[in-house]
Amino acid sequence: MEKHKEKEVYKIQNKLYPCSTSITMDFIGGKWKTVILYYLKDGCKRYNELRKEMPMVTERTLSIQLKQLEADGVIKREVHTLKPPLKVEYALTDFGKTLIPLLEMVAQWGRTVAKEKAEIIKVS
């Protein structure tokens, strides 16, 4: 008779994950999170700069995704109030910067697929 083998699960902040891939996808999954992180990998950006980089994302979706990334500790939001107008910048945290190699690999894979399968369309 075969013994029942215990399966390990991961627990982070009271959330259970069946595998390490599910941990990664919880932090960067969704249509826009990885894109946001990719645009922040080279330094901080203001909200409107991110909007210009991603013209197809709605303001509501961008705002929600930024809040989730901030709550997960992947990005930080810094508000500058010394001089009007109010200036808000987003940047990767040290924890978020650990994703840069993954983001670059995901982008490279996408470029390879784009060369083979995509039609390039210019948007303003």
Q: What is the pLDDT of residues 23-42, one digit of tens each?
A: 999 999 988 999 999 999 99
The CA-based angle 64-70-83, given to 5 degrees, is 95
| Structural domains for the chain | 28-114 (1.10.10.10)
pLDDT digits (tens, 9 = 90+) for 79-98: 988 888 888 999 999 999 99
Residue 84, preceding peptide bond in cis (omega within 30° of 0): no
pLDDT digits (tens, 9 = 90+) for 45-88: 999 999 999 999 999 999 999 999 999 999 999 998 888 888 89
**Which pair of tokens denotes residue 71?**
């709550």
Q: What is the pTM of this model?
A: 0.84
Tell me the pLDDT of the chain averaged across its residues. Answer: 91
Write down the H helix ranges in the chain: 20-28, 33-40, 47-53, 59-71, 94-97, 100-117
Task: Read off the amino acid at residue 16.
Answer: L
- Burial environment of residue 92 by CB neighbours within 10 A (0 to 12, 13 to 18, 19 or more): buried
pLDDT band at 4; cut points 50, 70, 90:
low
Q: Is 58 helix (H, G, I), strand (E, B) or coil?
A: coil
